[in-house]
Structure 1
Amino acid sequence: MASSTQTPTPRTAAQADTFWTRLSPTTRHAGCLGILLVVALAFYAPAVFEGKNIQGTDSITFRANAQVTVEHHQKTGEWARWAPNVFSGTPYINEQISVLQLDDVVNLVRGAAWPVSLLFVLMAGVYLLVFYLTRNHLSGLLSGLAFGFTTYIPIIIGVGHGTKFVALAYAPYVVLAFVYTLRNPSLLGGLLFAGALALQLRANHPQIVFYTGMLLLLWWIVEAVGAWREDRVPELATSTGWLAMGTVLSLAMAAEPYLARYQYKQYSVRGAAAAVNSGGGGGGGMGWTASMRWSHGPGELFTFVVADAFGGGGQTYWGPKTFTEGPHYVGGVVTALAGLAVWRVRTWLVWGLGLGVLGTALFALGKYAAWLNWPMFQYFPFFDAFRGPEMWLSVTALALAILAGIGLDHALRREERRGRRAQSADPRQRPLLIAFGAVFGIVALVWLAPNTFFDFEKPNEQQRIRQALLRQNPNVSPQNPRVQKAVQQQMQKLKTQRRDALTTDTQRTLLFLVLAAGVLVLYRRETLPAWGAGLAVVAIVGIDLWGVDSRYMGPDRYSSQDVEQSIPTYQFDQFIKKKQRQAGGLGRFRVLSLAEGDPTSKARPSYHYENVGGYHGAKLQRYQDYLDHILQVTGSGPPNENALDLMNTRYIVARQQLPGTEVAYRSQESGVLVLENQDALPRGFLVGQTEVVDAPKQTWSRLRSSTFNPRQTALLPDPLDQPVTPIDSNSTAEVTMEHYEPEEIRWTVETDAPRLFVASEVYYPAGWNAYLNGEQVPIHRVNYLLRGVHVPEGEHTLEMRFEPAADRYGTWIAWVSTIFVYGGVFALVGMRVRRQRSADAGDEEG
């Protein structure tokens, strides 16, 4: 097997003198990149040329969550790091990075040319990577197009997974810097890797970064085997050292925002599962069941080559996942070329990519490959921090696209043949036909005998159909033969539709395989030039992917409204917002919205007012405990009244009246009620009694109890160092809110004796500080998730400010490391250019 550092086989004279090779390298690069840009512009033309917006659900969710931070920025020019409108307050909803790096150049046109700007960055990165590996422009063009239009890309763009898309856009540059450093062990390589990885980290999607890193780790393992077998261990050790240095520097360059984000993770549901009952943060991650949701079914891997093998996405999907937006389709041609590369291009680099494809695909199977994923989940760092194993296939598709480019390069290389060999068949034609024939044969077999491989039935589907029929006909017995017959008829109809979709797409894949193989055979027989055959294969792959992608990025994905305009405003919203203005604005009360279903899965209310519920993929673990064990909002009964009072919940949006509330408004358009909870505690108040209850379960139970009065007593995990005095009818205990902003709250507190001030604000010790008359004082955790400050006798000014030290340190670390890395790259490149010019000048003199 050849080393991965081996240079490509030089072109022969037969290939040298063609239209394509007569073009200058610069022209060929410009032509290929121009094709990628034109295709991207054409596919997303409504967004670029018609001014329409892609209205993904996640984009709308983000915009709703970010509303308070946007308003704060419009008012002050600063971005708030604490959002009080989501889950009663949570940090880092709308992170803004102040340290400038190369991604800020892309961001200059990102808004005006979304998503084409980032899509071009993605495809150009793959193009440059594959060109670097093969020195073949058309191979780079194929790979760039294949990954840019793998179906997963338009799907995530369409649903609004913007950070995921951005992270994938920078993944090719990380891989390019990785392989450059393997081939050129040097400080420059390490710095380039640091810069590329930092860009991906700054996309704010750690899961894609982790998956990209795992792909490179698998690749490196194969490289290590090759280095050991070929006595290149010192060289690989040097490369690995520079890569390790680059990794450390990249983390430093992304210290803003990751230092604060890592700190937050310790308190979130992503990092605190192992310490859910502790007083502070904790390590660990999500549980196995939560992490393995959206495991990719083994049979679904067939969707790489047949898009609708499992019904596509949405309502047509019938695979084992709860639902999916669509397949990870790369096409039969890309798969065949990738297989050709792994089989015939025998370098450690190719085998490393091959192991990357295999490993990431197995990780994507999640619970269906527990023999691999369970040990990784238990012992490999950060493996348990992410959910949705299906997402692994995004980097599987990247590796397949790279391999396909290498495969095309191999197919387009022609050896000099002399004598008898020149008269015989091209020796590379047979492997080509075998590679394409293998994929063709598998797809054809499924086409001819689909029922042998698929049952076309979603798990427990018949039971769900039966339950739906019985709900429509409540007086019919489940044992009625007519019910079973109706179930079978409906099931048979669905199976026929699914089988037809599979048949159509298998035929489609077979057609593209035949076309691509035919083009390459014509080239091997010298009927087509290499550039003509290469462009034809690129066109075939492009047409194939365009056709499938159009199913997921149709006219319904576009809207003439912007994202903010897509967030509904109802009559009851207007009523509550009016009440908020009358009360003094932000910080006066919260709202629990029950009328739209699960309040923890909807972000819309957070756009309009401070929401007890909300939607966020990594909420604070302590708040999750509040929802599950104190408020008990997911139970069958009404929310706990003490829990509502504690969180300053003045209004509840519901469809029926709840105990302890009064109807304040009834919507004429929908019948939705706005219920007023007149017992809601203010945002800040004083208590004169405390109880020490350190165990979480006992604390939850005490808070839920009807005998507990939060106006008089506060529960603490530890006793206070200073005493407090009970409040009676003759006591002075007054609190007045003077100022409320997302990151700064100020009260005037007057008390005739030492007491405990309780703020109905979420306890987050990694950022909030309290100041009494300008002097910092400790914040105590009160009532499991609130903040408390001991206040002595007298009149005081009490302030709480969000001042996370991790943000401050992270910014300084990021600036210093960014200047070091970028300055180092410019200096090293400048030295190389100067040396090259000196060498060229010496040659001219000679």
Structure 2
Amino acid sequence: MNNWFKQNGIHLGIIAIFIGICIFYFTPAFNGKSLGQSDVIGAQSTQKEINDYKEKGTTILWTNQIFGGMPAFQIWAPYPNNITTWIVKGVSNSFPNPVNAALLMMLGSYLLFNVLRLKPWLAAAGAIAFAFSSYHIILLQAGHANQVLAIAFFAPILAGIILTLRGKYLLGASLTAFFLAMEIRVNHIQMTYYLMIALIIFICIELYHAFKGKTLAAFGKAMAYLSASLLLALLVNASSLWSTYEYGKESYRGKSNLTKNTKEPTDGLDKNYAYDYSQGVAECFTFLVPNAYGGPSGLQALDIPASKVNKYLLDRGVPEEQSVGFVQQLGQYGLQTYWGNKPGTSGPVYLGAVVCFLFVFGLIIVRSRMKWWIAGTVVLIMFLSFGKNLPFLSDLFFHYFPLYNKFRTVDSILAIACLLVPILALLAVQEAIENPDKKYVFKQLKLAGYITGGIALILIVYPELFLNFRGDSFQQLTGTLSEIFKQVPTFAQQSAEMASGLASALVSDRAALARADAIRALIFIAITFGMIWAFIEARINLTVFSVVLLALVLIDLWQIDKRYLNEGSFQDKLTADEVFKPREVDNFIARDTDPNFRVFDATQPIKSDMLSPFFHKSIGGYSAARLKRYEELMDNQLLQGNQNVLDMLNAKYIISPDEKNGTANMRANNTACGHAWFVNKVLYVDNADQEMEAISSFTPRIEAMVDKQYKPLIGDNNFGGDPNATIALESYNPDHLVYKSGSTTEQVAVFSEIFYDKGWTMKIDGKEAPYFRVNYLLRAAKIPVGNHTIQFDFHPTSYYAGEKVSLAGSILLVLALGGAAYTGIKRKEKVAKV
């Protein structure tokens, strides 16, 4: 044991340093504070009913709290038979968020850099360069912990693949299976998809070299092991993947049901929506100079009192005590330092001046084939991140690559660059250390310095050569400022001149921000250059060089990261009930003991309503994974004010804003149809378009609009012959509903519940019976003569059968990891005896 500690002491020391860095950077997290409160509160609102039942010891897989009702798979669902569920829970409980995510990023990438055979201190520098890229820090600040966790497993997955390709089949494949299973369990499909693009390119390059080097047999064996790893990771996550796949086809990202009067494409997301967050082509200068594009949206990056904008106002007679406030007020009307064409940004993707310089050095000096994979992949993902700014390539992927059109925020693919750029940067340092031709190394080092230093110098001396600092919205901003100045009596006569002058001052401020960060970048490039020169000239030894390089990378990134995530970013942990205080109308509605009715809150945006679901079962909600049919219903009916549709959804109460004082008013909706009712007419339509049109004007209590595909389940019989027929909800559980009916004639019952046939079953008196869809998205069934008990149960096969598969996969994964560990120990013992 003592020998083990001695052999691994440096690794344990570096891990301790990683923990220390996290403690110092995220100190408030250890004091009970947290980040990303808006997302947390939104999640609490969405999960309200789920959490209420969890407190009672009951797990539900369906919730009626938002959007009329939907599966809980993409909100919260337990996967107890998946071993990675417990590992993720253990990691989460070991360190507070976001420390756990940051630490996992460093540990996973440290493993990768060691697999790449870098010296431990250099591997640590690479791990810090990856983990503290500003993109990851900004994601943490925004509360996107799951996305960061998905990114954290990129590096160890790659490490496992590399080990497998080197011939360490069992160890490499086991690690690949484990980390890939963790990646999938985190459930950020978009990040996993982008990783797969990079890995497919990597495997193709390895295949080419295997063919060229006549090592196809070894490559084929490695691929067989990796295929087994992939299969095993899928088995471990069978329950979540199966459920997600099944639901995905019915979700907002699935195929459109309508062919006309729809805002959505026939399949996937609307292209303009998907491309909304596209990286500007020149915006990639932020990799080296973070404020090249003005920093985050708003005026956060600007020292307002010392700014050109403020000086311009002072020169025009605005009193000094008012000028700063005036600038801040103008910020609400579009005056901001960020000048790119994204709708908004919390900050740029900054990879580090040190890392960028070493990356360029790596493009020149590194001789391994990994360089070509990294270079090609980085170029591809940069081009894809441009989205609408490079449509010929983006459109190719959007229209022809499977699943690509399911994702928005295309610039998030740059997460791949945040890993690959540091890899090549540190491989360059390793090459400089190992290459015996120091003159050659120094020559290439100078070339890298000329390129990166030259870019920084141009941005200092003449930044307008690369950047215009105006952006697409500059004219619109000038017009807005002109209109504002017209409202100020002092400037009304010269509003256009004032607007133009202020806009020009803003351009100067933007250029000054870029210039200041370019100076900073040049200094870090010069220091890094000097460090490598000193090592080449044997002025410092390898250990000193490596440790100083680590410190340099950390200082470089730390300074920029603190602009976006600092002590002020943390808040005391809040719960939704602390943020959303019930209004008088909410308290009134809460007195209603009916277990299952809905509320339409017109004071909230229906598609992003975090307020009303916390108090009521809501017509609206907050989830990007809502059902496609419900999305189409909102666009075509609810947003058009269709009262009949509100009635059929059992919107028992309607909250509306008081135009006089802005408070919320409430009225009982006396025409709401209730939990279930019998209809007199069944009218058939040919398709979804006709069905949507039919419910634009109909009487839901009397008639039901039905797609003709369900006609065999209904027939042509007349219904509603018994005016005294009854049907009522007897007991409510979100995934278990019981009704009682009585009628002297055969009836068609409509239930104010969302139709979803991937798990809901209906039984009449204990015997399974068919049900069908009516009124575009409600459930209905033919009820026979007599008194009956009707029961709906949500028991999706995808989840329950998937859990059994997950258990089997988890057992196999544990056996594989145990086998790899046992084999490794035996091999070491054999070597020790020799």
TM-score in terms of structure 1 length: 0.88
- Distance change in 2, residues 1:537/1:486 (3 Å): same
- More displaced stretch, 402-411 vs 150-159: 402-411
Shift of the alpha carbon at 1:524? 1.4
Shift of the alpha carbon at 1:248? 2.3
- Conserved 8 A contact 1:462-1:487: no
Residues 784-834 of structure 1, C-alpha deviation per residue, up to 9 Å, x if partnerless? Answer: 010011111112111111111111121111111221232123124313423
Q: Distance in 1 between matches of 2:587 and 2:53?
A: 17
- Conserved 8 A contact 1:723-1:754: no
**Match of residue 598, structure 2, among 587, 590, 595:** 590
Give the structure 1 partner of residue 302 of structure 2: none
Q: CA RMSD in A?
A: 2.6
Q: Distance in 2 between matches of 1:505 and 1:138?
A: 28
Question: Gaps spanning 5+ residues in structure 1: where?
Answer: 1-22, 418-424, 658-665
**Match of residue 642, structure 1, among 641, 644, 665:** 644
What aligned pairs does 1:353-372 form with structure 2 within 5 A after superposition? 353-372=374-393
Q: Distance in 1 between matches of 2:41 and 2:528?
A: 41
Q: Find the residue that maps to 1:731 and give its secondary structure.
A: coil
Q: Distance in 2 between matches of 1:224 and 1:835?
A: 29
The reply on whether 1:683 has 2:675 as its aligned counterpart is yes
Q: Distance in 1 between matches of 2:487 and 2:654?
A: 33
- Distance change in 2, residues 1:690/1:577 (3 Å): farther
Shift of the alpha carbon at 1:187? 4.4
Give the structure 1 partner of residue 517 of structure 2: 505
One-letter code aligned to 2:663: G
Q: Find the residue that maps to 2:283 and give its secondary structure.
A: helix
Shift of the alpha carbon at 1:267? 0.7
Q: Find the residue that maps to 2:155 and give its secondary structure.
A: helix
What aligned pairs does 1:513-552 form with structure 2 within 5 A after superposition? 513-552=525-564
Q: Distance in 1 between matches of 2:482 and 2:694?
A: 44
Equivalences, count: 783
Give the structure 2 partner of residue 240 of structure 1: 223
What aligned pairs does 1:653-732 form with structure 2 within 5 A after superposition? 653-656=655-658, 670-705=662-697, 708-718=698-708, 719=711, 720-722=713-715, 725-727=718-720, 731-732=723-724
- Distance change in 2, residues 1:32/1:803 (3 Å): same
One-letter code aligned to 2:213: E
Q: Find the residue that maps to 1:326 and give its secondary structure.
A: coil
Residues 89-113 of structure 1, C-alpha deviation per residue, up to 9 Å, x if partnerless? Answer: 1112212221242562342241452
Q: Find the residue that maps to 1:798 and give its secondary structure.
A: strand
Residues 753-808 of structure 1, C-alpha deviation per residue, up to 9 Å, x if partnerless? Answer: 11111111111111211111111111200100100111111121111111111111
Shift of the alpha carbon at 1:523? 1.4
- Conserved 8 A contact 1:340-1:431: yes
- Conserved 8 A contact 2:359-2:421: yes
Q: Distance in 1 between matches of 2:396 and 2:529?
A: 42
Give the structure 1 partner of residue 406 of structure 2: 385
- Distance change in 2, residues 1:223/1:761 (3 Å): same
Residues 148-198 of structure 1, C-alpha deviation per residue, up to 9 Å, x if partnerless? Answer: 110111211111212211111222111111111121263443333222211
The reply on whether 1:438 has 2:451 as its aligned counterpart is yes
What aligned pairs does 1:743-822 form with structure 2 within 5 A after superposition? 743-822=735-814
Give the structure 2 partner of residue 193 of structure 1: 176
Q: Find the residue that maps to 2:413 and give its secondary structure.
A: helix
- Conserved 8 A contact 2:576-2:614: no
Q: Distance in 2 between matches of 1:143 and 1:563?
A: 37
Give the structure 1 partner of residue 327 of structure 2: none
- Distance change in 2, residues 1:138/1:832 (3 Å): closer
State percent identity of aligned pairs.
Answer: 24
**Match of residue 41, structure 1, among 23, 31, 35:** 23
- Conserved 8 A contact 1:118-1:169: yes
The reply on whether 1:331 has 2:331 as its aligned counterpart is no
**Match of residue 97, structure 1, among 72, 79, 90:** 79
- Conserved 8 A contact 1:151-1:328: yes
One-letter code aligned to 1:343: I
- Conserved 8 A contact 1:689-1:725: yes
Q: Distance in 2 between matches of 1:818 and 1:830?
A: 18
Shift of the alpha carbon at 1:372? 2.0
Q: Find the residue that maps to 1:735 and give its secondary structure.
A: strand
Q: Distance in 1 between matches of 2:173 and 2:434?
A: 33
Q: Distance in 1 between matches of 2:772 and 2:565?
A: 51
One-letter code aligned to 1:233: L
- Conserved 8 A contact 1:197-1:250: yes
Shift of the alpha carbon at 1:543? 1.0
- Distance change in 2, residues 1:174/1:643 (3 Å): same
Shift of the alpha carbon at 1:691? 0.5
Residues 351-404 of structure 1, C-alpha deviation per residue, up to 9 Å, x if partnerless? Answer: 212222222222211222222222222222222221111100011111112222
Q: Distance in 2 between matches of 1:188 and 1:521?
A: 39
**Match of residue 580, structure 1, among 582, 586, 590:** 590
Give the structure 1 partner of residue 238 of structure 2: 255
Residues 396-435 of structure 1, C-alpha deviation per residue, up to 9 Å, x if partnerless? Answer: 11111222221222233363x8xxxxxxx64322222322
- Conserved 8 A contact 1:83-1:742: yes
Q: Distance in 1 between matches of 2:77 and 2:292?
A: 39
One-letter code aligned to 1:739: S
TM-score in terms of structure 2 length: 0.89
Question: Gaps spanning 5+ residues in structure 2: where?
Answer: 299-336
Q: Distance in 2 between matches of 1:272 and 1:566?
A: 39
Q: Distance in 2 between matches of 1:704 and 1:405?
A: 63
Give the structure 1 partner of residue 214 of structure 2: 231
- More displaced stretch, 540-549 vs 373-382: 373-382
- More displaced stretch, 154-163 vs 462-471: 462-471
- More displaced stretch, 642-651 vs 181-190: 181-190
- Distance change in 2, residues 1:471/1:785 (3 Å): farther
Give the structure 1 partner of residue 49 of structure 2: 68
- More displaced stretch, 497-506 vs 487-496: 487-496
Give the structure 1 partner of residue 312 of structure 2: none
Give the structure 1 partner of residue 39 of structure 2: 58
The reply on whether 1:628 has 2:635 as its aligned counterpart is yes
Give the structure 1 partner of residue 131 of structure 2: 148
Shift of the alpha carbon at 1:653? 2.5
- Distance change in 2, residues 1:214/1:456 (3 Å): same
**Match of residue 85, structure 1, among 60, 65, 87:** 65
Give the structure 2 partner of residue 824 of structure 1: 816
Q: Find the residue that maps to 1:652 and give its secondary structure.
A: strand
- Conserved 8 A contact 1:266-1:283: no
Residues 665-694 of structure 1, C-alpha deviation per residue, up to 9 Å, x if partnerless? Answer: x9x8x5222233221111222212111013
- Conserved 8 A contact 1:647-1:680: yes
One-letter code aligned to 1:591: V
Give the structure 1 partner of residue 334 of structure 2: none
Shift of the alpha carbon at 1:213? 1.0
What aligned pairs does 1:168-183 form with structure 2 within 5 A after superposition? 168-183=151-166
- Distance change in 2, residues 1:717/1:674 (3 Å): same
- Conserved 8 A contact 2:485-2:499: no
Q: Distance in 2 between matches of 1:520 and 1:352?
A: 25
One-letter code aligned to 1:525: E
Q: Distance in 2 between matches of 1:215 and 1:460?
A: 34
Residues 468-525 of structure 1, C-alpha deviation per residue, up to 9 Å, x if partnerless? Answer: 653785899xxx9834323312311321221121111111111111122112211112
One-letter code aligned to 2:143: G
- Distance change in 2, residues 1:812/1:358 (3 Å): same
